[in-house]
Amino acid sequence: MNGDMEYGRLPAEGTDHFHRLDAHVVATEALLTTVDNIQDTIEAQGMMCAFGSSGFGKTMSVNSALRKLAPDITYRLELRSGPTPRDIRHGLFRALGLPGDPPTRPIEFDTLLKETLSETFRVLVCDEAQWMGRSSFEYWRHLWDDRNTKITVIFAGGDGCFKVLKREPMLASRIFIWQKFTRMSEDEVVATLPAFHSLWSGVDPRTIRGIDRAAAHGNFRNWATITRLLRNGMNRKQLTEINDNLIRWVYSKLAGM
C-alpha cells in the first residue's frame, strides 16, 4: 500500500476552519442543505456539484456532511491548478492507496481504476474543481459512466466549475444535484456567530450587523478572519469585550477598508 495513509481521507474537523480557528461547526441552512443533497446523491450513486464564490463554506459543508454520512468510504482528491486526466488518475491511485507503482499506459491505468471502483461503493470528492477543464470533467464522467463502477462523485469548487459543466450538455445532464453556495443573510449571521465562536456570545446584534455590512458581507471566511483578529486584539490589548476602537483596529488590517 502507499505510504501516505492520510492522503485522500477526510480531514479532522478542526482543520475546516480558516486560520485554524478554535470554532464550532454550526448547522447553518447551507450545511443542512448539503447533508440532504449529499445523502440523496449517495443513494442515487449520482454526481453532485457544490459551487459558489470563495469563502461561502463549500468545502467545510461537504466535509462535515461526509463525516456524518460516509466517513469510511470517502476519498478526496487534492489537485493542482489545471489538472489533466493524468493528474486525476494518479490522484485516485494515491487516494485509494493502491499497491505497487502506477501503470504507465493510460488504458492499463483506467482498467485498474475501474476494477478497483467496481469492488465496493465509494464516494469520490474533487475539491477546488474550478481548476478543471473539459477533458478532466470528461474523465470523471468516463469513470462514472462505466456500468460496473460503484461511485458517487462530488465536485466542490468556485463558479468556474459550474460554467464549464453547463457549457457541456453531456456533462451537465449527468449532474444529479446542483447546490449553489451564497452569502449568509444578516439575520442568519446574527443567529450563527454566537454558536460559531464564544467571542460573539453576548455581543449586541447591532454590532454584528454593522461589521457584516462594513467588512464581512455574509462571507464565513471573512467572519473567521475578523474573529481571529478580534481575539488577537483583545489578548494584546487586555480587553474583555469588543469595543468600537477594537473594531476600527481590525478594519485597519483588512483590504478595502
Separation between Cα atoms, residue 195 and residue 252, nearest integer Å: 26
In tens, the pLDDT along 72-129 reads 999 999 887 889 999 999 999 999 999 999 999 999 999 999 999 999 999 999 998 8
Q: Does domain 13-181 have CATH number 3.40.50.300?
A: yes
Q: Cβ-count burial of 188 within 10 angstroms (0-12 exposed, 13-18 middle, 19+ buried)?
A: middle
pLDDT at 203 over 90: yes
Separation between Cα atoms, residue 52 and residue 196, nearest integer Å: 21
In tens, the pLDDT along 15-32 reads 766 667 778 888 899 999
In tens, the pLDDT along 114-169 reads 999 999 999 999 998 888 888 999 999 999 999 999 999 999 998 888 888 888 88
The distance from CA 143 to its chain's CA centroid, rounded to whole angstroms, is 22
